[in-house]
Chains A and B, each alone.
Chain A
Amino acid sequence: MSKVYVIGAGMTKFGKHDGKNLPWRSLYELGVEAVVDAMKDAGVGPRDINVGYCGCNLGLPNCGQTIFDDVGLMGPKGMPVYNHENACCASLAAFRQAYFDLANEVYDVAVVVGAEKMTAFMGGGLGPLPEMMTSSKGVGGAGSGGALVGSAIQMPEGKMFMADIGVLFTSFFAMVTRRHMHDFGTTEKQIAMISVKNHKHGALNPNAAHRKEVTLEEVLNSRVICDPVHVMEICPVTDGGASVILANEKAVRRFTSHPIEIKAITLSGPIYKGKPLPNCIRATQVAAGQAYEIAGVGPEDIDMVEMHDDSAAFELFTIEDLGFCKRGESGPFVEAGRAGHGGDVVFSPSGGLLSKGHPLGATGCAQLFEIYRQLRGDCGARQVKDAKVGLVHNGGGIASVLEPMVMCIGILAK
């Protein structure tokens, strides 16, 4: 199998591209902007790319073809395109498909794009008019676009959507958080500190939606969405696109002498049994364990993590699930500053989903964007010192056992 590298990355500003907050962009325009940005970054032209992958949930079918065609990639040779839906993990899971196709030398150079328009009805797939029917107002609505879709498609033989029970992402994390607090004495203050840290990082990220630092008091005094989770501990609702370009050993030398290697990219489903207490995410443990083994590294080698902090408390279980500390000790770990600059590892150097928001499909590629740029030393004020190895952690969906439906872990290295 050939080694596979990331040779470029691009992303749009994340925010509300509704014409009021940021200039109006359609779902497809967000994707196009990200792809063009990534191509420029990689130094690849349209004829260099053999295959495209698109991670998007709320767009209509063939979202990838629409985006890549607008860029001009479809060309006379009929470039193949894969479209991938996997809830919040869509583009990282799509990236994994790209990795294997390139590792097996089916193709040499791939473009992966993730895009989502959360502020429009049905993700903007139906066009601008239904934007008036948006339900995604204000912060704390992560996944509300998905809920809208879930409630819109009401089949009599339902799938038993968690939405039909009354559970969305915020209550999912709130329940795991409550059990974590019950079992280990984790405090609301420790959770709030994560939000403070991530917003501090986000203030230094020009692509983040929220670029203001927040104080502990502001976070703890903010409205409670699902007890014990405060609104300033949940990611805002945003639109955005992000893209990466991959090349395998056969092609990489044409473009760069300093590619970033994909050491591992693993995928796990929800772990239905083997989790007697809902105070951790077993799928993370499984996918990360496999990734560490494949990459030949351990948590002590990881310099930074771009994780799925759509809720600040998710960072707590993730610190433990990724093996940075023992089960139950993430609260003190965070309080001692060990999850930030100057600590053991920097979590969410980009500001995380808390600062960027969470356009579902775009998040995976945006996490890759950050790790890639960090490894290249390109991150200016928010640069992680001596960054050599980075990890991406991206989950999606909610299974009925309070595990994500999918958990994808990637390890990239210089």
Chain B
Amino acid sequence: MADQEEEKKEKRGKYGLMELGKGDVIIKRGVLKFPSAPDERPALIGAKCQSCGDVSFPPRVFCPKCGSGDMKEYHFGTFGEIITNTTVYQGGMGIKTPYSVGMVIFPELKDPELTVVSQIVECDPKEVYIGMPVELVIERTRATLFGGIMKMMGMPGEHVVGFKYRPVREGGAK
């Protein structure tokens, strides 16, 4: 009952969560740009090297390609394309099975080597295919093992919140 109330209070938009809930732990600090309006799209936060232009995700302090320390925050990843995927039938990781995971590239960036791995959601896992266009959503990725204990102690840690991709619904890549 209390959970349902909490869910009603949480801020959600068209592209998933707009902020962390009470029991949530972020997958990693500084990698997600939450939307500030319900119809605003989220983005991934990487770093772009001001020297060679290479983008890394998660953001690095030094450019992995050229070693420069001149790195600036870079938002990307709103739209992507699947280059491989699988359906997971045996879990045990706090994620309801079967679920799909895939590797995503970002054709807009023209860098086929910048890839992200995530769950592919809001579709039948069997429908995911190599080449499928996807869009970013921010959602809970898994329930943690000790989440119940953390909740009792009033500390976050029940769920991890991170990035997921789903089939593009409308609009498509700009």
Residues of B with C-beta under 8 A to A275: 113
Say yes or no: is A274 at the interface (Cβ < 8 Å to chain B): yes
B142 near A273 (CB under 8 angstroms)?
Answer: no
Q: Known interface pairs A160-B27, A166-B99, A179-B83. Does A400 touch B116 (Cβ–Cβ under 8 Å)? A: yes
Return the chain A residue nearest B90 by Cβ.
A225
Q: Known interface pairs A158-B28, A160-B28, A160-B58. Does A151 touch B83 (Cβ–Cβ under 8 Å)? A: no
Closest approach, in angstroms, between the C-beta of B87 and any C-beta of chain A? 5
Number of interface residues of A (CB under 8 A): 49
A-B pairs under 8 A by CB, number: 135
Return the chain A residue nearest B130 by Cβ.
A182
Say yes or no: is A178 at the interface (Cβ < 8 Å to chain B): yes
Q: Known interface pairs A158-B27, A158-B160, A166-B101. Does A226 touch B89 (Cβ–Cβ under 8 Å)? A: yes
Which of the segments A140-148, A286-294, A314-322, A389-397 contacts the partner chain? A140-148
Cα distance A200–B117 in the bound complex, in angstroms = 35
B64 near A170 (CB under 8 angstroms)?
Answer: no
Say yes or no: is A184 at the interface (Cβ < 8 Å to chain B): no
Cross-interface CB contact of A274 among B90, B94, B113, cutoff 8 Å: B113
B86 near A160 (CB under 8 angstroms)?
Answer: no
Closest approach, in angstroms, between the C-beta of A126 and any C-beta of chain B? 15
Residues of B110-147 whose CB lies within 8 A of A? 112-113, 115-119, 130, 141-142, 144-147
Residues of A370-406 whose CB lies within 8 A of B? 400-402
Closest approach, in angstroms, between the C-beta of A151 and any C-beta of chain B? 4
Cα distance A182–B86 in the bound complex, in angstroms = 12
Residues of B with C-beta under 8 A to A156: 25-26, 29, 156-157
B28 near A278 (CB under 8 angstroms)?
Answer: no
Say yes or no: is B22 at the interface (Cβ < 8 Å to chain A): no
Q: Is the interface of A mostly helix, strand, loop or mixed?
A: loop
Cα distance A171–B115 in the bound complex, in angstroms = 16
Say yes or no: is A227 at the interface (Cβ < 8 Å to chain B): yes
Cα distance A17–B6 in the bound complex, in angstroms = 45
B89 near A227 (CB under 8 angstroms)?
Answer: yes
Say yes or no: is A163 at the interface (Cβ < 8 Å to chain B): yes
Q: Known interface pairs A165-B141, A179-B130. Does A147 touch B93 (Cβ–Cβ under 8 Å)? A: yes
Say yes or no: is B150 at the interface (Cβ < 8 Å to chain A): yes
B89 near A224 (CB under 8 angstroms)?
Answer: yes
Q: Known interface pairs A179-B83, A273-B64. Does A167 touch B117 (Cβ–Cβ under 8 Å)? A: yes
Residues of B with C-beta under 8 A to A274: 113
Cα distance A159–B101 in the bound complex, in angstroms = 19
Return the chain A residue nearest B160 by Cβ.
A164
A272 near B64 (CB under 8 angstroms)?
Answer: yes
Say yes or no: is A342 at the interface (Cβ < 8 Å to chain B): no
Cross-interface CB contact of A163 among B26, B93, B102, cutoff 8 Å: B93
Residues of A121-172 whose CB lies within 8 A of B? 135, 140-141, 144, 147-148, 151-152, 154-160, 162-168, 170-171
Cross-interface CB contact of B93 among A168, A229, A279, cutoff 8 Å: A168
Closest approach, in angstroms, between the C-beta of B83 and any C-beta of chain A? 7
Say yes or no: is B95 at the interface (Cβ < 8 Å to chain A): yes
A165 near B27 (CB under 8 angstroms)?
Answer: yes
Q: Which of B58, B90, B95, B147 has the most CB of A within 10 A?
A: B90
Say yes or no: is B84 at the interface (Cβ < 8 Å to chain A): yes
Closest approach, in angstroms, between the C-beta of A174 and any C-beta of chain B? 4
Closest approach, in angstroms, between the C-beta of B55 and any C-beta of chain A? 11
Residues of B with C-beta under 8 A to A278: 83-84, 103, 115
Q: Which of A135, A157, A178 has the most CB of B within 10 A?
A: A178
Q: Known interface pairs A179-B84, A276-B112. Does A164 touch B142 (Cβ–Cβ under 8 Å)? A: yes
Cross-interface CB contact of B101 among A155, A167, A228, A401, cutoff 8 Å: A167
- 20 interchain pairs, CB-CB under 8 A: A141-B92, A151-B146, A152-B145, A156-B157, A157-B28, A165-B117, A166-B99, A166-B118, A170-B90, A175-B84, A175-B86, A175-B103, A176-B84, A178-B86, A179-B130, A225-B88, A227-B89, A273-B54, A278-B83, A400-B115
Top 4 closest pairs, chain A to chain B, by CB: A174-B86, A160-B28, A179-B84, A151-B145
| Interface residues, chain B, with chain A CB atoms under 8 Å away | 25-29, 31, 54, 56, 58, 64-65, 83-90, 92-95, 99, 101-103, 112-113, 115-119, 130, 141-142, 144-147, 150, 156-157, 160, 162
| Interface residues, chain A, with chain B CB atoms under 8 Å away | 135, 140-141, 144, 147-148, 151-152, 154-160, 162-168, 170-171, 174-176, 178-179, 182, 223-229, 231, 272-279, 400-402
